[in-house]
Structure 1
Amino acid sequence: MTRRVAVAAALVVLTLLVGSRWVTNRSAVLANQRSTVPTAPATGVAQPPPAPEVTPSSTPVPTHVAAPKPKPKRAGSGPFGSLRTTGRKQVALTFDDGPHPVWTPQVLDRLKTANVKATFCVVGSQVRKHPELVRRIVREGHTLCNHSWNHELDLGTKSVKEIKANLELTNNEIRKAVPNAKIAYFRHPGGKWTANAVSVARSLGMQPLDWDVDPRDWEIKDAKVIGSRVIGGARSGSIILMHDGGGDRKGTLSACPNVIKNLKTRFGIAPLR
């Protein structure tokens, strides 16, 4: 009897030892699993979205940015696409039919005093006679414009070949006086534009230059009338036609100071380029 009790007690002790080791090992396994499994986010706490998976793209990455396309040039508003206004607030002064040995220097003096630049539409035959005046025009920062060889009012009605010869002869004479001179514009005598005249001018790199204010100083000698016509007709962007050659220009000269002062105050005066 005593021996049976002892055996039974030994079995109980052995069972307890084996169970304790199993529990210890199981706890270690569970702890290891908890350390490798992500903890579930707490309820009600916003979590950042998972990072997007990055995969190689088959689209090539550009190595440079293309330059913006240039804006188209503004079309003219005069006959056959000629330029009638400046396209900005400032107005432009233009003087035709020179250079003249008496009037052109005085016009230049008035412009210099007012610190204003203008455009001189020169006649080729006059350039040949007075190249020193063309040099002064350029030296003082004014713009040159081809105004035909001898102020031919019917030039635009002639053949393309004749028109081209006339304009090239004038340009060549200008460049004899001022080598490499920039001649950006052509103004047809009397504004008698034709499609052929415009086409030839453009083919030679010159923009046809018209106007929108004409005080008719080529026939009116009264300075007050000339001044009032310019001041009354001018608006933002006006191209103003006056003359430094072709006749008596005392009225134009007398009108210049007041005209320049008024236009500078109202709009500003800027050269055509």
Structure 2
Amino acid sequence: MQKDQLLTRRRALLAGVAALGAAGAAGTAGLLLSDGSSGAPAPPAAGPPARSPLRSSAFRIAPMTGDAALPARPLPLAVRRAPILRFSVSGDTMLLTFDDGPSPQYTPQVLDILARHDVQATFMVCGGMADKSRDLVARMADEGHVVGNHTWSHPLLTHRTRGVIRDEIERTSDLIEKVYGERPLWFRAPYGAWNRDVFQINAELGMEPLAWSVDSMDWTTPGTDAIVRRVLRGAAPGVVVLHHDAGGDRSQTVRALRTYLPTLLDKGYRFTVPRRQYG
């Protein structure tokens, strides 16, 4: 397929995935899913203060958020005080998300399972990983998945300067646009660690901060059965499930996905990707 034809195809696949309209300064906004359902993000939740050094177990379950006042100057998007944790939807609709990839070993297996069940997901990729596996990012586009920004090298942004934060995010967005065909509209901070600077730079770059409401804890490699139990117990309308397709041995994640996905589909759950409504 010629390059321009592939880009056209990707843009067509992504036409229904354009993401969320302008939010209020207090963090409220109209949210849509790809099935047209609407809702609003959950109320902001205060998180634990940043510590040095931080271990992932200290903040994986509840993403950290800064509590500083919002900047006064206008921005393309309103600056949020907290990331989006879940969506208000009608019906049993969930979102699957995968962090830290793409991995040449595990991401193709995840994509194969999703394709087998005709399910779309959101992949929050690291630029350094995506640069080494551009074919997988292109495949995500071809198969209708959303690709979001998870920084270039996965640093703890709350311990970085504004210049470093912007470079980590913007460099990754540039690569995603080149390979995926669209600039990302969603950002997830490594370790779930947000502060005012991260929220402000997100808004300046036209992205919304997406966190999660169900942590599969697969990053701890707790065993396939434990991952399956956490996802099945957490299944509910509008939840955002956190998985990882890179950053370690993700064979448990692959096996868990292969196990619970048909179970949830049999129970009537649907899976979708976020989109933004401009207005």
Normalization by structure 2: what TM-score? 0.68
Q: Does 1:249 align with 2:250?
A: yes
Structure 1: 5+ residue runs without aligned partners? 1-69
**Residue 263 of structure 1 contacts residue 269 of structure 1 at CA under 8 Å; is this kept in 2?**
no
Correspondence 1:75-224 to 2 at 5 A: 76-77=41-42, 78=44, 79=65, 80-88=81-89, 89=91, 90-152=93-155, 154-179=156-181, 181-224=182-225
1:18-52 deviation line (CA, Å, top 9, x unaligned): xxxxxxxxxxxxxxxxxxxxxxxxxxxxxxxxxxx
What code does the residue aligned with 2:142 have? R
1:86 Cα deviation (Å)? 2.1
The secondary structure found in structure 1 opposite 2:185 is: strand
Normalization by structure 1: what TM-score? 0.70
**Residue 221 of structure 1 contacts residue 249 of structure 1 at CA under 8 Å; is this kept in 2?**
no
1:106 Cα deviation (Å)? 0.4
1:221-266 deviation line (CA, Å, top 9, x unaligned): 4111100011112222100000111111111111112321233324
**Residue 91 of structure 1 contacts residue 263 of structure 1 at CA under 8 Å; is this kept in 2?**
no
Structure 2: 5+ residue runs without aligned partners? 1-21, 31-39, 45-64, 66-80
Q: How many residues align?
A: 202
What code does the residue aligned with 1:174 have? I
% of aligned pairs identical? Answer: 35
The secondary structure found in structure 2 opposite 1:91 is: strand
CA–CA distance in 1 between the matches of 2:165 and 2:207? 13
Deviation >3 Å, runs of 4+ = none
1:220 Cα deviation (Å)? 2.0
**Residue 221 of structure 1 contacts residue 250 of structure 1 at CA under 8 Å; is this kept in 2?**
no
1:29-81 deviation line (CA, Å, top 9, x unaligned): xxxxxxxxxxxxxxxxxxxxxxxxxxxxxxxxxxxxxxxxx997235335423
Which gives a bigger RCO, structure 1 or 2 (Cα 8 Å, sep 6+)? 2
CA–CA distance in 2 between the matches of 1:91 and 1:131? 27
CA pair 228-131 structure 1, distance change in 2 beyond 3 A: same
What code does the residue aligned with 1:202 have? A
**Residue 157 of structure 1 contacts residue 194 of structure 1 at CA under 8 Å; is this kept in 2?**
no
CA pair 151-71 structure 1, distance change in 2 beyond 3 A: closer
**Residue 121 of structure 1 contacts residue 146 of structure 1 at CA under 8 Å; is this kept in 2?**
yes
1:272 Cα deviation (Å)? 1.7
Cα-Cα RMSD: 1.9
1:62-111 deviation line (CA, Å, top 9, x unaligned): xxxxxxxx997235335423111022141100001100001000000000
